[in-house]
């Protein structure tokens, strides 16, 4: 019996399987090494990096909700220089693709990040975060207007030699339009969805449960919305789509692949079950074998409409 | 009546590696409700292969834990975090409030086993005597001097456990104080230790999603307020009191 072929291509980025980890849920990879054979994964998308280190938001930063959680971490990260000097030496050795999520307050910051990271050995692609709901300026501002999405994509692509993936916000009226903006700007792929803006209130104290008042909802609760958006975007653009949003099991991953995603990212599930990403890789292999499919490409976009 | 339970698990790898002050992340439901694991500190290890947790039912997750029966399996990750430093101090005081007492029993046993300081005093507090349950007796059985305080005066000193420090600790000695409990209690203990020039370690609690330093949800401000946040799961849960901003 042959090993099932899980390989996929995201533009010029070749992955041994379609399972990535979502930025902000997998640290800088090392945190999960006790639980996951990192080289089994299609790739690791690391915590979003900004030019300067960010402290993030004051606590409380997370609150559990029905089948999900709200977070307002506020993009806490070590900054570009420390990422390159402290995190990359380890990431270079993990035996899979390293995709760096980047975020900025201005086009210039995105450009600088793209240029500097292109010079770093061991990085396979950039994921441009234009969709974080938890910071006051930048981020989501670029993600809610198709022209802005196109401009930031173009800016990063012009200054970087790496494949560029643009991560989209669901907090828009028409996500397909934003995806087309990213495509027009030169993105090799789009990934979606980032978290949905949400809120929770403590009725005893009458205060918001998050210090930031609002935060991003993630986890199984958002999966149907994410799946619908991935399906819509997959039809709207020609570039590959990476599906994200509440993926916890192999079956969840398969739903996104059927809806048209070429790859998926496992997010909040990593917190609940640190082995989730590896288990999904194994589960997809079993699914192909059990269904006598020769490769995962037979699943991608395989949705049968009524 | 508070519902407080001890949960004993056969978990040889965790038992072999656990240090006092460390915690485990416990999956309370196989489904999505609740979604996140619950961080619970290790109450003690038993023999070479058992781990015991002490918890109070406070919500859906702990309620589900309380329905578990002998022989069932539970999914947990650990031991996690950075525990208490067992100083070679000649005088050690453990201060626990409410469920914060849980890790101190493990610590007391390790202190007695390893360093056996000439002075070891335990101060325990809770809202009521019922909330302390068998814990005072457990510590006394170890042979350590134990003083109690309850908010309602139903057992021991009528007041806060932090008030026992000045009543029972000889100011001439150089104490190492290890505290775990509600934030106001630890703030008071840390303040007194600073005044007396005593070393103080505190075990903090925070809402966390992952327990392994990935979600960054469990941020607490450090004493140097402009500095980066501390993360309870990885930098702690045990910190030197002077590292923490007591806001």
Q: Which of A271, A273, A275, A279 is the best mutation test for B, with the most CBs of B within 10 A? A: A271
Q: Does B210 touch chain A (CB under 8 A)?
A: yes
User: What average pLDDT does the segment B149-177 reach?
Assistant: 93
Query: What pLDDT band is residue B188 in, cutting at 50, 70 and 90?
Result: very high
pLDDT at A138: 52
pLDDT value at B230 more than 90: yes
Q: Does A63 touch chain B (CB under 8 A)?
A: yes
pLDDT value at A139 more than 60: no
pLDDT at B88: 76
Kindly compute the dihedral angle of the four CA atoms of residues B211, B213, B217, B219, in this order, to the nearest 10 degrees.
110
Tens of pLDDT, residues B30-49: 899 999 999 999 999 999 99
Q: Does B215 touch chain A (CB under 8 A)?
A: yes
CA pair distance A130, A139, nearest whole angstrom: 5
Q: How far is CA B224 from CA A112, A291, B118, B185, B227, in A?
A: 30, 58, 35, 21, 5
Least confident of A38-42, A84-88, B16-20, B109-113: B109-113
Tens of pLDDT, residues A52-68: 999 999 999 999 999 99
- Are the Cβ atoms of B32 and A274 closer than 8 angstroms? no
pLDDT at B221: 96
pLDDT at A143: 85
The neighbour count for residue A92, using CB atoms within 10 Å, is 13
- Are the Cβ atoms of B214 and A58 closer than 8 angstroms? no
Tens of pLDDT, residues A253-297: 999 999 999 999 999 999 999 999 999 999 999 999 999 999 999
* Residue A213 three-state SS: coil
Contact list, A56 vs chain B (CB under 8 Å): 216, 219, 229
For B50, residues 6+ apart whose C-beta sits below 8 A from its C-beta are B8, B9, B10, B11, B15
Chains A, B: CB pairs < 8 Å: 90
- Are the Cβ atoms of A59 and B206 closer than 8 angstroms? yes
User: What average pLDDT does the segment A229-236 reach?
Assistant: 98
Catalytic residue among A49, A70, A132, A276: A132
Partnered with residue A243 across adjacent β-strands are: A192, A264
Mean pLDDT of chain B: 94
Kindly compute the dihedral angle of the four CA atoms of residues A201, B219, B110, B52, in this order, to the nearest 10 degrees.
40
* Residue A202 three-state SS: strand
User: What average pLDDT does the segment B149-175 reach?
Assistant: 93
Tens of pLDDT, residues A146-178: 999 999 999 999 999 999 999 999 999 999 999
pLDDT value at A209 more than 80: yes
Packed helices A175-184 and A223-236: angle between N→C axes, nearest 10 degrees: 50
pLDDT at A135: 53
Report the gap between the CA of A139 and the closest CA in chain B (Å). Answer: 19
Q: Does A274 touch chain B (CB under 8 A)?
A: yes
pLDDT at B90: 86
Q: Does A270 touch chain B (CB under 8 A)?
A: yes
Partnered with residue A102 across adjacent β-strands are: A49, A128
pLDDT value at A137 more than 90: no
CB of B63 within 8 A of CB of B215? no
The continuous run of DSSP H or E covering B111 comes out as helix B102-114
CA pair distance B185, A234, nearest whole angstrom: 55
User: What average pLDDT does the segment A137-146 reach?
Assistant: 73
User: What average pLDDT does the segment A199-228 reach?
Assistant: 97
Q: Could you confirm whether A157 is annotated as catalytic? A: no
pLDDT value at A133 more than 80: no
CA pair distance A225, A198, nearest whole angstrom: 14
CA pair distance A150, B47, nearest whole angstrom: 62
pLDDT at A289: 96
CA pair distance B146, A123, nearest whole angstrom: 57
CB of A165 within 8 A of CB of A178? no
Query: What pLDDT band is residue A231 in, cutting at 50, 70 and 90?
Result: very high
pLDDT at A132: 57
Whose tokens are 């000695």? That residue is B173
Partnered with residue A195 across adjacent β-strands are: none
Complete domains list, chain A, with CATH: 8-57+75-197+219-298 (3.20.20.70)
Specify the pTM.
0.94
In the numeric block, which tokens belong to residue B50? Answer: 């058992």
Strand order in the sheet with A196-199: A62-65, A68-71, A214-218, A196-199
Burial, A196: exposed, middle or buried (Cβ in 10 Å; 0-12, 13-18, 19+)?
Answer: buried
CA pair distance B55, A193, nearest whole angstrom: 37
In the DSSP assignment, the letter for residue A209 is S
Option in B32, B77, B219 nearest A56 (CB): B219
pLDDT value at B2 more than 90: no
Mean pLDDT of chain A: 95
Complete domains list, chain B, with CATH: 4-80 (2.40.30.10), 91-200 (3.40.50.80), 204-247 (2.10.240.10)
ipTM over 0.90: yes
pLDDT value at A246 more than 70: yes
In the numeric block, which tokens belong to residue B133? Answer: 């349950």
- Are the Cβ atoms of B216 and A61 closer than 8 angstroms? yes
Query: What pLDDT band is residue B87 in, cutting at 50, 70 and 90?
Result: confident
- Are the Cβ atoms of A61 and B27 closer than 8 angstroms? no
Partnered with residue B166 across adjacent β-strands are: none
In the numeric block, which tokens belong to residue B16? Answer: 């072999």
| DSSP states along B28-92 | --SSSSS-S-EEEEEEEEETTTEEEEEEE--SHHHHHHHT--TT----EEEEESB-------SEE
pLDDT at A88: 97
Residue (of A29, A49, A46, A47) closest to A37 by Cα position: A29
User: What average pLDDT does the segment A125-131 reach?
Assistant: 92
pLDDT at A2: 62
């Amino acid at each position: 019996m042959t090993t099932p072929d899980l390989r996929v291509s995201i533009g010029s980025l070749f992955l041994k399987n379609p399972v990535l980890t979502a930025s902000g849920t997998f640290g800088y990879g090392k945190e999960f090494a006790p639980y996951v054979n990192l080289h089994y994964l299609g790739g690791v998308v690391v915590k979003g990096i900004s030019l300067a280190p960010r402290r993030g938001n004051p606590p409380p930063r997370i609150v559990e909700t029905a089948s999900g959680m709200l977070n307002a971490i506020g993009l806490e990260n070590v900054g570009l220089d420390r990422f390159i000097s402290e995190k990359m030496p380890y990431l270079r050795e993990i035996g899979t693709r390293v995709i760096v999520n980047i975020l900025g307050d201005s086009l210039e910051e995105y450009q600088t990040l793209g240029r500097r990271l292109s010079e770093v050995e061991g990085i396979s692609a950039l994921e441009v975060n234009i969709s974080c709901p938890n910071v006051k300026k930048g981020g989501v501002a670029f993600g809610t207007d198709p022209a802005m999405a196109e401009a930031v994509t173009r800016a990063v692509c012009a200054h970087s030699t790496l494949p560029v993936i643009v991560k989209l916000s669901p907090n828009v009226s028409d996500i397909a339009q934003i995806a087309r903006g990213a495509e027009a700007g030169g993105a090799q792929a789009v990934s979606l969805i980032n978290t949905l803006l949400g809120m929770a209130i403590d009725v005893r104290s009458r205060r918001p449960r998050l210090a930031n008042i609002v935060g991003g909802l993630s986890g199984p609760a958002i999966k149907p919305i994410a799946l619908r958006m991935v399906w819509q975007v997959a039809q709207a653009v020609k570039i590959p789509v990476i599906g994200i949003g509440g993926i916890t099991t192999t079956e969840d991953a398969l739903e996104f692949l059927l809806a048209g995603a070429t790859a998926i990212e496992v997010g909040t599930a990593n917190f609940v079950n640190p082995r989730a990403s590896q288990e999904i890789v194994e589960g997809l292999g079993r699914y192909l074998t059990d269904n006598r499919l020769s490769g995962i490409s037979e699943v991608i976009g395989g949705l049968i409409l009524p | 009546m508070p519902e407080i339970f001890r949960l004993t698990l056969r978990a040889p790898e965790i038992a072999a590696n656990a240090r006092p002050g460390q915690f485990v992340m416990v999956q309370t439901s196989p489904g999505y409700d609740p979604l996140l694991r619950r961080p619970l500190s290790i109450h003690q290890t038993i023999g070479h292969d058992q781990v015991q947790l002490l918890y109070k039912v406070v919500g859906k997750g702990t309620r589900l834990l309380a329905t578990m029966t002998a022989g069932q399996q539970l999914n947990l990750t650990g031991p996690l975090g950075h525990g208490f430093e067992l100083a070679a101090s000649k005088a050690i005081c453990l201060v626990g409030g409410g469920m914060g007492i849980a890790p101190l029993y493990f610590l007391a046993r390790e202190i007695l086993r390893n360093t056996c300081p000439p002075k070891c005093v335990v101060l325990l507090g809770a809202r009521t005597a019922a909330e302390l349950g068998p814990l005072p007796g457990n510590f006394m059985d170890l042979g350590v001097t134990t003083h109690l305080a309850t908010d309602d005066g139903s057992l021991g000193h009528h007041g806060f456990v932090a008030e026992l420090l000045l009543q029972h600790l000889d100011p001439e000695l150089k104490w190492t104080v290890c505290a775990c409990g509600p934030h106001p209690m630890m703030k008071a203990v840390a303040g007194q230790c600073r005044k007396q020039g005593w070393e103080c370690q505190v075990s903090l609690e925070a809402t966390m999603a992952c327990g392994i330093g990935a979600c960054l949800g469990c941020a607490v401000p450090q004493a140097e307020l402009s500095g980066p946040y501390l993360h309870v799961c990885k930098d702690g849960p045990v910190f030197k009191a002077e590292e923490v901003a007591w806001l």
